[in-house]
Amino acid sequence: MTTAFSWLAWLLASIIILLTTRNPLLLLVILVQLLALGVQMTEFGNRKRWLGQNLSFIGTMLLLSSLINFIFTHSGNTVLFSLPDDWFLIGGKFTLESLLHGTINGLVISSLYLTFTLFNKALSVEQLTRLIPTAFYPLTLIITISLTFFPSIQERTAQIKEAQMIRGNPMKKLSDWLPILIPLMVTSLENAVQLAESMTARGFQVQNEGQNSHKALIFLILSTFLVFSGWLLSLFSYPTWVSWTLYLISFLIIALLFFTLSKRVHIVHLHKDQWQMGDTFAVILYGMIFIFMATLIISQNIDFLSFTPYPTLHFPTLPLATWLLGLVPGIPFLLILNDDHH
């Protein structure tokens, strides 16, 4: 897996699984796979540091999520201790079920964090910005500038700090850092003005008279109306497939609109992703998994993925179908081929 679209398909399939399940065993399986995949994708000398940082984040998230739910949710039958009911917010019984439910939420958040971390780790900034439709090329440029803003600020800060230390500023107290602010602001404004002038000289965001923005606005309003209609019908006793059909039509309208607008913008890419057999297989496989999960959600047949510790704590089960879905985030172990970024 080396292309942006293959990793995007992996991201969507993993997210829909993580947002659907609350089974702690399945979440642990997915979390372990994500950690192992991240270790494999990291340079050999930085693996221990990367693993330590992410384990610290996961531990902190699990602790906070468990404590918050344990303190403010007073449900369940396994009571550990109680506080007076008249105590604001925290009064009531403290149960083992609420503690476990908070831990499950922490597992979901940690898994989602690792999923996006690996997605960002697998792709370069150029590949990430290419995922944005060409019709939004001004947004792509703004994102690219934003991603390079902080590294450039850090580099200029280091240069100014070195110059101040040469001039005799020890840079030990907070007041010693004040002379850095004015040069940093001046250089940042100068770079911003130079960038704006260069973009203006190159005709950036010049509006063509041939572009009909009114039609695009009409289609956007129509797609929004369809989404609103589907949501409104879902509140009443209409079949679920009616709402999802309207959602699908709205999605197709927006996709067709983006495709049409993107065709009007001509951008030359110096380097293009080279598709390999593993990328094609990944896109097809993850696309099928995404469609399968979406079908289960629409038909409301996701009971095998659900789990709740309430009202009485019990041990979760893990059917074969759940095991198979839990292995989806680990498929890149078999598909990563010659990734030049790692």
Please say whether the beta carbons of 293 and 16 come within 8 A: yes
The pLDDT of residue 95: 93
The pLDDT of residue 338: 45
The answer to whether residue 142 sits within a structural domain is yes
pTM listed for this prediction: 0.74
74 phi and psi, to 5 degrees? Answer: -115, 65
The answer to whether residue 342 sits within a structural domain is no
- Distance, in Å, from the CA atom of 67 to the CA atom of 110, rounded to the nearest integer, reads 15
The answer to whether residue 209 sits within a structural domain is no
Please say whether the beta carbons of 100 and 309 come within 8 A: yes
Number of domains in the chain: 1
- Distance, in Å, from the CA atom of 289 to the CA atom of 195, rounded to the nearest integer, reads 44
The answer to whether residue 187 sits within a structural domain is yes
The answer to whether residue 143 sits within a structural domain is yes
Please tell me the total number of residues recorded for the chain in this structure.
342
The answer to whether residue 181 sits within a structural domain is yes
Please say whether the beta carbons of 293 and 17 come within 8 A: yes
The answer to whether residue 210 sits within a structural domain is no
Residue type, 182: I
- Write out the residue range of the structural domain in which residue 146 sits: 4-203+215-335
The pLDDT of residue 268: 65
The answer to whether residue 208 sits within a structural domain is no
Residue type, 10: W
- Distance, in Å, from the CA atom of 28 to the CA atom of 12, rounded to the nearest integer, reads 19
SS3 at position 79:
strand
What is the chain's pLDDT, residue by residue, as a tens digit (342 residues)?
Answer: 788 888 999 999 999 999 999 999 999 999 999 999 999 888 888 899 999 999 999 999 999 999 999 999 888 899 999 888 888 878 889 999 999 999 999 999 999 999 999 998 888 877 877 777 777 777 777 777 776 777 777 778 888 888 878 887 777 777 777 777 888 888 888 888 888 888 788 776 665 544 556 777 888 889 999 999 988 888 887 888 888 889 889 989 988 888 887 777 666 666 677 788 878 888 899 989 988 888 888 887 888 888 889 988 888 888 888 888 888 888 887 766 444 444
SS3 at position 73:
coil
The pLDDT of residue 100: 94
The pLDDT of residue 57: 93
* Residue with token string 């699908």: 248
Q: Which string of DSSP letters, residue by residue, matches 161-230?
A: HHHHHHTT----SGGGGHHHHHHHHHHHHHHHHHHHHHHHHTTTTPPPTT--HHHHHHHHHHHHHHHHHH
Whole-number CA gyration radius for the chain: 26
Residue type, 236: F
* Residue with token string 């995404």: 290
